[in-house]
Amino acid sequence: MDVTQVPLKQFKGKKKNIKMNNKMQKKKRTPQGENGNVSDVEVVETKPVLTPLEPMLPPTFSLSEIKNKQRRHQMFMKLKQDKRKQKMQVKKTRKKEREALGDKAPPKEVPKTIENQRVYDETTVDPDDEEVNWYYLNGCSPFCLNVVLCVIYLYLNSNLQVAFDEGTDEFSSYFNKLTNPKVLITTSDRPRGRTVRFCEQLATVIPDAHVYYRRGLALKRVIPQCVSRGFTYLMVINEDRKMPNGLVLCHLPDGPTAHFKVSSVRLRKEMKRRGKEPTEHTPEVILNNFSTRLGHGIGRMFAALFPHDPQFVGRQVATFHNQRDFVFFRFHRYIFKNEKRAGIQELGPRFTLKLRSLQKGTFDSKFGEYEWVLKRHEVDACRRKFVL
């Protein structure tokens, strides 16, 4: 029975198709003028079917109300095309107007993005603040760093001359050039291929970094040993299903500890058009857009990972670029082609960080006091509000 039914259905469908084809053919024929009378009649027949559709549409008509899928699709495509046409026309006329006006043309409108529509954060560091500009008021130069670091600093904190709060915080010994960074890189227990390579490549980016195998040790036990051996940073990369997915950055000897989510890790091998292996010169550091008080802290944390004096011979730059609370890390080599142009070449690895929490003191997830915690469901869901 089934066997017989199926071909029947198919046959029916085919019949319809055939009918449709006939109609189509007939329609096509009409303009050609063959069988003029017949075609005219047909057109008269078909027209009342087609034309009443449009005036019959109720004012609140939406395409989704059409029940025939083909028809709906057709209408939708038409609507889309019309919209596009309109848009292009407006664009064209505007362009013509601009060309006609020449120099007098009004400036181009800046598109609205959730970034330039950012909600003002009251913690944004203010340049003219007594409490913030303590060093500045006391007439000390913030740091005696060399030119580029200063430039970087100006960039990082274009409105910051070290705050009193910042000037005396845990990083002050680094920024006062009392300590040199020394970083220990380790992973979660039993890392697999990608994470291991990621650690190795990070160690080539950060000077004076030592990769150690975790050996199942507890971080709270590792930290005192690190302090006694003069490390200033403990960096732990967490791994999930062979992919690095977390980063704990703990400043030693007395904090703070930041916990990041790591995503889109691209190792050197996976990168297109990458340069040769990085050299052992200490790189320059660029920190972009760390504007709020919390952002400053995080920026300082990244800055303190690298030694004070970059070696310009190496022409290497590590960039931490903050955009919409995501921190993008890139590692480049640059070259000045002529006075105006510079070329860059990525050396890798690249990855993205997102802050999860900032904790006061060294790593202590149970009893530590948190300075900032990401609370996804509690904070108002404003997409234009950023914390860094």
Partner 1 sequence: MGEKSRLCRVWVGAETGILKGISPAKKQAFNFSETSSLSRDQEVRVLCWGDPAETEVLVGSVNGTVRTFSTEKGVFTETRQCGDADQGFFTGLAVADCGLVTCVETGRLRVWREESSSPVVDIDAGKNVCRMRQNAAQKNRVATGGKENGLKIWDLERPDTPVFTAKNLRDDWIGLKQPEWLRDAAFLPDSDKIVTCTGHHQVRVYDPSTPQRRPVLEVRYGEYPLTCLSLVAGAQSVVVGNTHGSLAVLDLRKGLVRGCLKGLQGGVRGLQCHPTLPLVASCGLDRFLRIHSLETRALEHKVYLKSRLNCLLLSSGALGEEVGGDVEEVKEEEDELWQSMEKVEEKSKRKAPEEEEEEEAAVEEEEEAVEVEVTQVTNSKRKKKKKGQK
Specify which residues 146 forms β-bridges with. none
Q: Binding segment for partner 1 among 30-38, 81-89, 214-222, 369-377 (CB under 8 A)?
A: 369-377
Question: Token digits for 59?
Answer: 């004012």
Q: Binding segment for partner 1 among 71-79, 221-229, 303-311, 365-373 (CB under 8 A)?
A: 365-373
Residue number with CB closer to partner 1 (282 or 322): 322
Question: Token digits for 223?
Answer: 């930290």
Q: H helices of the chain, where?
A: 2-32, 36-50, 53-56, 69-101, 134-137, 147-156, 164-167, 172-175, 193-205, 219-228, 293-303
Residue number with CB closer to partner 1 (104 or 375): 375
Q: Which of 131, 189, 254, 270 binds partner 1 (CB under 8 A)?
A: 131
Distance in angstroms (rounded) separating the CA atoms of residues 262 and 244: 7
Could you say whether residue 132 binds partner 1 (CB under 8 A)? yes
Residue number with CB closer to partner 1 (282 or 359): 359
Q: What is the radius of gyration, based on Cα positions, of the chain?
A: 32
Could you say whether residue 372 binds partner 1 (CB under 8 A)? yes
Could you say whether residue 208 binds partner 1 (CB under 8 A)? no
Could you say whether residue 376 binds partner 1 (CB under 8 A)? no
Within 13 A of 224's CA, how many CA atoms are on the CB side?
A: 3
Q: Which of 26, 46, 143, 164 binds partner 1 (CB under 8 A)?
A: 164
Q: Binding segment for partner 1 among 42-50, 59-67, 122-130, 313-321 (CB under 8 A)?
A: 122-130
Shortest separation between residue 365's beta carbon and partner 1, angstroms: 9
Residue 65 is given by DSSP the state: G
Distance in angstroms (rounded) separating the CA atoms of residues 231 and 208: 10
Q: Which of 22, 35, 81, 123 binds partner 1 (CB under 8 A)?
A: 123
Sign of CA dihedral 155, 160, 164, 166: negative
Could you say whether residue 367 binds partner 1 (CB under 8 A)? yes
Q: Which of 122, 218, 221, 272 binds partner 1 (CB under 8 A)?
A: 122
Q: Which of 42, 165, 200, 208 binds partner 1 (CB under 8 A)?
A: 165
Specify which residues 250 forms β-bridges with. 234, 257
Shortest separation between residue 114's beta carbon and partner 1, angstroms: 21
Shortest separation between residue 293's beta carbon and partner 1, angstroms: 7
Q: Where does residue 188 fall: left (phi above 0), alpha (psi -120 to 50 degrees), or beta otherwise?
A: beta
End-to-end, the C-alpha distance of the chain in Å comes to 70
Distance in angstroms (rounded) separating the CA atoms of residues 359 and 365: 8
Judged by the rule CB under 8 A, the positions of this chain that interact with partner 1 are: 122-123, 129-132, 134, 137-138, 164-165, 168, 293, 360, 366-373, 375, 378-379
